Structure 1
């Protein structure tokens, strides 16, 4: 587990933004090691283990190091070692601390953070400078081997200020002799080793093992914790549900718990099953306790990720009780109430996360991974508008380049809204926003045939619509691989039965559930996909549509000649 590499990849872009200053990146890398060493101390960690630490809580740094002199030393030494302004150094570490804390907690999973950091000490100990011994627990700073050169990233100022001992001349006289003795011993050891084992010094064993170890580190660091997002409706029904899991075994475990609590409504839950996500979930065995408590609160939302449960509800009193009840039921988990919506911060973090995901795609990426990465960004359209914000354009430019480089990549762009207007208005708005993204990508050189759009309006929420936070998350653009959209039961109904798969292909209107080339309005139609009898004439007793149903003996081939 290469903790420093993970934090450099996930936290550094969020802290620095567009600033690519190598000195600042190096400063943060060294701070992560010092920070991890501090969190490895159980007493330090216990001070805030039960806190709801916000990702933008810059005061968190002060709670990790309560001694002001230690904080000053850290920022001063880091600034000096990396040639960065001391004030800027203090700001960087204060911003990085809460973000790094959340990432380390996610990496630790069910393992207590101090234990996890102590178990993986070797992955970050080498980054801890010698001067940090005063600000981290004893034994965390690695002892430098005899004769080893001090790291370039370690402040050497204290060494320059040391006075030479009075008997320095005598010691200087001995140094050449000591050096000759050491060299002689090394030469003898090397000769003896060659006689005992004639293999070259650089044996293949070492060179073969090292790449394997590095590959394992990358795989572990890239895996996201499994998660589930839920929302209840007015009558304590399951209003929305999404899960991200690493395999079908975990999916089945979660679905079983959902079915036991919500019955048939558990079928609403959509799952992204991919090896980018973990195959275990700390809360999986406790869902039988968690879900019934949550289901009794109407219009509530809940996100379970790692060892943290985040909940929200429109009533503050109900929300506080929900937090209290869940924490009492599952004390091993951290239960927090979702904080106030900070739109700007949400947008910035989402774009950074998407950029990082795109950075990690590598050559010839899987289109599913591209779609997942692009879906991480929040495209926050203005009210009732479909103009793409400037902040999203650089990422869409990168998406366009990827689509031009990968010939078999075909994406569907899906627009979603909250429920704050009429169904028809929301359907049109979501479609227009998806079309706006498509048009932008085409303008950047993407083949129009590789892009399809879909407007879902308010019909496919991922959160509640009773809170500001929930509505914000429901207003979104999602990307998916077109083949997946046509084949999966993910709420996107696409049927390629003919060039005009209308409910009545003989008339002049396009009233199906899928936009067609001959449909100038790009409408998704007036029919309800959940109707048990979607006939051309639903008032009669026969089933005369062209979409075969189980109760149609003709399997949809017989049309009603009297249908209007």
Structure 2
């Protein structure tokens, strides 16, 4: 199978898998774009490294400031497809094309990929549309630019030969009538030299086309990726925070390609995050090493890549494999810290019971004392459930009895989740859980105006969501004192 046919067979279905309109037209556009892109990469290998460093490369990067040529390309490719929709489709094809080229060439090195493209030069040339020639020439690339350069060299050579011949026949003291033609000829030679120099500069322009973002565009928070595999080595969860929405699409495509089963990535594309991960061009290769490895937690934040596995040796082995792929990252390996959930929950309930019993025996009860005692307990809700476990009801019964004796005490019941799943659904679930706790206390004698339920979802984590232990800590109910005179809220830590 030739290279163009391979791209049609593997990349096009990946790009078009979620499309429902203009499928035939988009497929034809991709088929015409592949030989154009390969020709550009062959003539300007630096574009390969640039595109590899961006998981969301765009054709706008290929044309730089020459948006007119980009518009011409889309006009040739588009037909009835809306221009914006077509451009998005073409953009999505670049990253998987580079990935396939690297896989087929057996290297991600730009020179190795160029050599691989050159091996398929005949099939690429045969598939190259006629209109591509003028666009490649406009970029200073391809056969047309080369031919123009050869033509210029030929003209220069002939002019030099003519000039030399004329100079050899010029008498030592030329007549005035002969001098002006000679001066004109020399001026013509100078103009041709300037023209050829401008062509060379134009040919080199694409090397500098991809520009780095300015310092003013720098974002305040680092981009981050958290990914976990289940017991079968499939993706259990994926969380990404990055300003580039296109990155999320490409990331998900890579995950779908590599893993038999996977969960959609929960993405936060707020502009406050940076638009790229450090060394993100290596992400596809890092995912290949994670593929099929059970119970791995991968956290990619700022300049640090943390890999955790059930066994320290297993985590270190995986870290050693990816270190060379991410030269600018600190790769840290560690064993997952197991959490005995039942024991931890039971201990917390016992502590809360004792603290509430001490308050009952002490006489006067303050709002802060009740909140501190309640914050000792862990209410371990079942997955996606707001039903209060029976073991926690004993604690809430004690608290409700105290609240009936202290009618001026007002508390906020705050619900939180971990970051697994969609943020909107987590917020709804956290609200239901907080409300369930408030409703239970009210059913046991507390006044309705003493309790206000608020759900915060995955906001304000107290631990790293990249680990199971961190997720367990983030799934929580907190009690907060409300000042009955000022209405101000006061966060209260648990007693220890």
User: Normalised by the shorter chain, which TM-score bucket?
Assistant: 0.3 to 0.5
Q: TM-score with structure 1 length normalisation? A: 0.28
- TM-score, L = length of structure 2: 0.32
Q: Which has the higher helix share?
A: 2
Structure scoring higher RCO (CA < 8 A, sep ≥ 6) equals 2
